[in-house]
Amino acid sequence: MPGFAPPGSVPNTGYYAETSTFGPYYEPSRQPFAPPSTQKLSAKTLYGSVPFEEEYGAGAPMKDGLVHLSLHPDGGRRARIDVSQVLITMVLPVLTFVGVAAVLSFKIHYNLWLLAWIIAWGCALPGLYVGWLSMKAFQENEGTQGRWMRLLCVLCFLAWLLAMVLGQMNYSTNMLPFYEMSGLNYYPSVDPSTSAQSHMDAGRMLFQRGSHLDFNRAMGVRISKTYCVAPVVSPKVGNATGAVEIDYWAVGMDCCSSVQPQTHWRCGEIDNPFANAGMRLMSDAERPFYRMAVQEAEATYKVRANHPIFIHWMQDPAAKMQSWHEAGTRMYIEGVFSVVVLMFFFSCSAGLYFSRASMESHPCKGTGFRKYVAANPQHDFLAEEGWEEASSTKSIIL
């Protein structure tokens, strides 16, 4: 019965009154109580199951040694932030992100791609294990621990998913071109008038001083996009026409006209007067279209391209490679820092939330004896166990 318990079934600790302030201890209209069986009755008497403030409409006075005990079975709890749980909630997702993003971004992905993906997918196992711990905690009625584990599981999978996306993007955008170019040779002082057969393994090449692009024999082919090519010629050959062999071609996409003659060819560092080098095209998807543009240039300008090498025209290929490496490293570090900040926010917010939930004193279940009697007039209190013992105390107190 809410608000009432048989005398003797609830310890008489928590509420009391003084006769001089709050009137008589017992009246027939009030809830009976059981006095302490081992203590002598005095001017202070403890109340049992009915909160004193509900009887008199004011807060119960506090005295030394007597504490308000909630009638809720869970009682009240002190506020405390579980620092170890907060640290685990922050550190484990961060470690998951660091591991997955590292193996997908850097050289292990390039050299041992299968092992990299196995490690990346294996980093999802801690999140699965934490999810299992969460279900086990809920089954054992450990609600707070279960909620902590559930939050940790969500954060682990969030960090794992972010690492998979960012690691793959970083690898394909920055680190893959860097590793591919690092595996090819560098050739200085290349004569563009010679055959490229001896430079088929070239990744970066520096042409002889005075080498330039010949726009009179440039070509553009439009296949959904415009693929542009222009031959690299030696200064001793100049812009001469005729059946000459040209194997080095600067390329670009959507930076020229598909109509001849080419008057707006703007691919690469064409406006840089110090540009005298090239970095090899590594895209297998674009190569056939550039080859088609070269074939059209061969037919139009009567030139030969027996072993064409497609390059991006620039001043310093080494600086371009270094920019890829720096961009990939910076993207990884910024991703780690962002995840640390994100997980710190989530873990600290969860610590404050769970500590607040734990510190809140559960409200008393009782609604007051008189309220209960008014709502349940058919209840027979005389038939309850302990009623006669409680009623016999009236004569003792009075």
Report angle CA 12, 15, 17 to the nearest 5 degrees: 115
Residue 205 is predicted with a pLDDT of 92
Mapping DSSP onto H, E and C, the string for the chain reads: CCCCCCCCCCCCCCEEEEHHHHCCCCCCCCCCCCCCCCCCCCCEEEECCCCHHHHHCCCCCCCCCCCCCCCCCCCCCCCCCCHHHHHHHHHHHHHHHHHHHHHHHCHHHHHCHHHHHHHHHHCCHHHHHHHHHHHHHHHCCCHHHHHHHHHHHHHHHHHHHHHHHHHHHHHHHHHHHHHHHHCCEEEEEECCCCCHHHHCCEEEEEECCCCEECHHHCEEEEECEEEEEEEEECCCCCCCCCCCECCEEEEEECCCCCCCCCCCCCCCCCCCCCCCEEEECCCCCCHHHHHHHHHHHHHHHCCECCCCEEEEEECCHHHHHHHHHHHHHHHHHHHHHHHHHHHHHHHHHHHHHHHHHHHCCCCCCCCCHHHHHHHCCCCCHHHCCCHHHHHCHHHHHC
Q: What's residue 260's pLDDT?
A: 78
Q: pLDDT 10s digit of each residue in the chain, 398 long? A: 444 444 444 444 444 444 444 444 444 444 444 444 444 433 333 334 444 444 444 444 443 433 444 444 444 444 466 788 888 889 999 999 999 999 999 999 999 999 999 999 999 999 999 999 999 988 888 877 888 899 999 999 999 999 999 999 999 999 999 999 998 999 988 988 888 888 888 999 999 888 889 888 889 898 889 999 999 998 776 555 556 888 999 999 998 887 777 778 888 898 888 899 999 998 888 999 999 999 998 888 888 888 899 999 999 999 999 999 999 999 999 999 999 999 999 988 888 887 765 554 445 444 456 666 777 787 776 676 665 665 565 444 44
Query: pTM to 2 decimals?
Result: 0.65
Report the alpha-carbon distance of residue 84 to residue 148 in Å, rounded. 12
pLDDT at res. 386: 61
Q: Which two tokens stand for residue 290?
A: 């550039």
